[in-house]
């Protein structure tokens, strides 16, 4: 069309940047949405300690919903395009969390949880981490007792955590709902989900049995040791 060619020619001649035609709506640039990361093992790989059915719901429905809902909430906002960690910290908003926080933090927490476990896990840590556990808890048995107690006494939904500071000192904490020690300035190295959806299919109300199984059969101590080393860098 003659008119559009004229406009093209004149904008080129003038050395101006091509301007997009005005439309009725502000064009929304879709940035890459944050993704649901798969656990580092098949959904049935933790059997018989954590069932495939649990993983199908816990990862396939709960974790997936947190990702989808978070992406819907941040699309077109300043958080769109930021990393997950940035979204978690920003939405924590200094302790007055925005609606994004519950979803974003739960995305982070669940990925951290899957990566804290492995098939044929459990057993005991070795090396520097084992020494730190003995030093900071008295013994590995004492650590297991206290970690289990933290998980048992988090009333309602939440998480229990093993954290390390940058001098290598270990501590336990527990948090409600979506809260994560990351927003409290701590560096977690291990977590267990104590929302009922984490264990109800497998052991129903028996949270103590769930925690014992997690500790004895599921913890990926190699990953925990890597995280421990990283916390001190």
Closer by beta carbon to another protein, 180 or else 220: 180
List of residues 6+ apart from 55 with CB closer than 8 A:
39, 43, 44, 46
Write out the binding residues for Mn(2+).
Answer: 58, 110, 193, 197
Residues between 6 and 25 that touch another protein (CB under 8 A)? none
Nearer to another protein, 77 or 205 (CB): 205
Per-residue binding letters, 83-122, with another protein (x by CB under 8 A): -------------------x--------------------
Among 120, 135, 197, 208, binds another protein (CB under 8 A): 197
Q: Name the residue among 41, 38, 53 with its Cα closest to residue 203.
A: 53
Phi, psi at residue 38, to the nearest 5°? -75, 150
List of residues 6+ apart from 86 with CB closer than 8 A: 79
Nearer to another protein, 161 or 195 (CB): 195
In the complex with another protein, the residue whose CB is nearer, 157 or 232, is 157
- What does the binding site for another protein look like in residue numbers (CB under 8 A)? 57, 61-62, 65, 102, 155-158, 176-178, 195-197, 200-201, 204-205
């Amino acid at each position: 069309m003659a008119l559009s060619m004229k406009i093209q020619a004149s904008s080129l001649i003038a050395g101006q940047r091509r301007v997009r035609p005005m439309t009725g709506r502000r064009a929304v640039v879709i940035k890459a949405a944050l993704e649901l990361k798969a656990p580092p093992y098949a959904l049935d790989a933790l059997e018989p300690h954590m069932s495939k059915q649990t993983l199908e719901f816990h990862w396939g429905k709960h974790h997936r919903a947190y990702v989808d809902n978070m992406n819907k909430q941040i699309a077109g906002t300043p958080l769109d395009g930021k990393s997950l960690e940035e979204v978690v910290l920003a939405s924590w908003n200094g302790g007055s969390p925005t609606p994004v926080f519950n979803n974003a933090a739960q995305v982070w927490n669940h990925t951290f949880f899957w990566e804290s476990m492995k098939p044929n896990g459990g057993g005991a840590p070795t090396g520097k981490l084992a020494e730190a556990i003995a030093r900071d808890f008295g013994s590995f048995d004492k650590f297991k007792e206290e970690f289990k107690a933290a998980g048992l006494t988090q009333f309602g939904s939440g998480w229990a955590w093993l954290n390390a500071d940058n001098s290598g000192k270990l501590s336990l904490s527990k948090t409600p709902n979506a809260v994560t020690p990351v927003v409290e300035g701590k560096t977690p190295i291990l977590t267990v989900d104590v929302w009922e959806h984490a264990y109800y299919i497998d052991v129903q109300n028996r949270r103590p049995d769930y925690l014992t199984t997690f500790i004895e059969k599921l913890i990926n101590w190699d990953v925990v040791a890597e995280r421990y080393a990283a916390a001190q860098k």
